[in-house]
Amino acid sequence: MLVLEKRPSPSRFWQAATPVLAVVLTMIAGGMMFAILGKNPFEAIRTIFWDPLFGEFAWYFRGQLLVKAGPLVLIAVGLSLGFRAGIWNIGAEGQYIMGAIFGAAVGLAFYPADAWFIFPLMIVAGGFGGWLWAMIPAILRTKFRTNEILVSLLLVYVAQSILSSMALGAMRNPEGGGFPGSRNLSQYPSAANLEIIPGSGMHWGVVAAFIAVIAAYVLLQRHMLGFQIRLAGQAPRAARFAGVNPDKLVVLCMGISGGLAGLAGMFEVAGPAGQLSIDFASGYGFTAIIVAFLGRLNPIGILLAGLLMALTYVGGDNASTNLGLPSASIQAFQGMLLFFLLAVDLLSNYRIRLLTGRKI
């Protein structure tokens, strides 16, 4: 009989090995899913994971990789801080939308002026928008003990309503011939989030993501706040005795994750997306949750996980154009990845023992 035996402390080997194992298992299960859909599983997996990196059109796909990974990493790094401390900000999608709205609003307000300070101001506004949206669940939790999971998530739907109201109303392009959607910010030089090296996909959002990874790493390893976050997650009682103020931690973690999600939204609206439209929200805020867990809530891990998840997006697009693989199957594939990750996580916290012989 198999029994589980709790390890005194999580296994370091398995902590590093489980994400890899989960990816392999997901590829196997995903291959089976593709086979059920009537596609050749090996070809599908190769189209998703190999061709974008080393195939014929890799020069195009590699750039796309950073474009997709940027917002994912930026949001996931913020979320991971809260998740470590047991603060569940599930509404990053809403904060991402609000960041985009605030950022775009500033850009559009200055149109068609030409000045160096517009883009930096948009960055500030975007971060502020996301921060503001995350402060709602944070303050409700600290003042009224309202569950932040539900509030942050319900606010996503509210943000989506605001987005469509903006795209159809206040921020609609006056020269757009009545079509919904704002002016195209990527064609407005003072507000555009352009690629720093053309063709590389490296825009300012990607730079921000790298900075966030480094800052989060330093914060967690070297700063008192990082220590408090880790302590609050691993031993809430001990944290209280050590003088950690849980309310302060909630406000800080929610604020950082909201601000970063807002930045991601702002960089997206000024760059790859270009304009505020009804279908601007593409689910990065939710996928970033998977990225945070896949990266084991570790900044460096999140960077790698973000690149991998971006690969599934890019490869998924590739597979849907070349193999006719439904784009929804990539979403299911990403969900599956999180399942396997949570399942194999057992190995790092427990030892599996084969119980033979007599019962004690």
Partner 1 sequence: MDFLGGINPAVLIASLMVAAVPIMLAAIGELVVEKAGVLNLGVEGMMIMGAVVGFATAVETGSPFLGFAGGAVGAAALSLIFAFLTQVLLANQVATGLALTLFGLGLSSLIGQGYVGIKPPLTGKVPFGPLADIPVAGRILFSHDPVVYLSIAAIAAVWAVLKFSRLGLILRAVGENHDAAHALGYKVMRIRVLAIMFGGAMAGLGGAYISLIRVPQWTDGITAGAGWIALAIVVFASWKPWRVLIGAYLFGGITVLQLNLQAAGARIPVEYLSMSPYLITILVLVIMSADKNRAALNAPAALGRNFHASR
Footprint of partner 1 (CB under 8 A): 4, 6, 37, 88, 90, 140, 144-147, 149-151, 153-158, 161-162, 164-165, 168-169, 286-287, 289-290, 293, 326, 328-336, 338-339, 342-343, 345-346, 349-350
Considering the complex, state which of residue 66 and residue 90 has its C-beta at the smaller distance from partner 1. Answer: 90
Buried residues in 142-169 as b, exposed as e (16+ CB within 10 A): beeeeebeebbbebbeebbebbbebbee
Considering the complex, state which of residue 145 and residue 358 has its C-beta at the smaller distance from partner 1. Answer: 145
Tell the residue number behind the tokens 């999608």, with chain if given: 93
Evaluate the omega torsion of the peptide bond into residue 10 and state whether it is cis, within 30 degrees of 0: no
Whether 329 and 336 have beta carbons less than 8 Å apart is answered as no
Considering the complex, state which of residue 49 and residue 340 has its C-beta at the smaller distance from partner 1. Answer: 340
Considering the complex, state which of residue 28 and residue 196 has its C-beta at the smaller distance from partner 1. Answer: 28
- Coil/strand/helix, residue 146: coil
CB-based contacts of 162: which residues, under 8 Å, 6+ apart? 97, 98, 101
Considering the complex, state which of residue 152 and residue 190 has its C-beta at the smaller distance from partner 1. Answer: 152
CB-based contacts of 302: which residues, under 8 Å, 6+ apart? 73, 76, 77, 80, 213, 291, 292, 294, 295
Considering the complex, state which of residue 141 and residue 203 has its C-beta at the smaller distance from partner 1. Answer: 141
CA distance 136 to 94: 11
Give Cα 193 to chain centroid, integer Å.
19
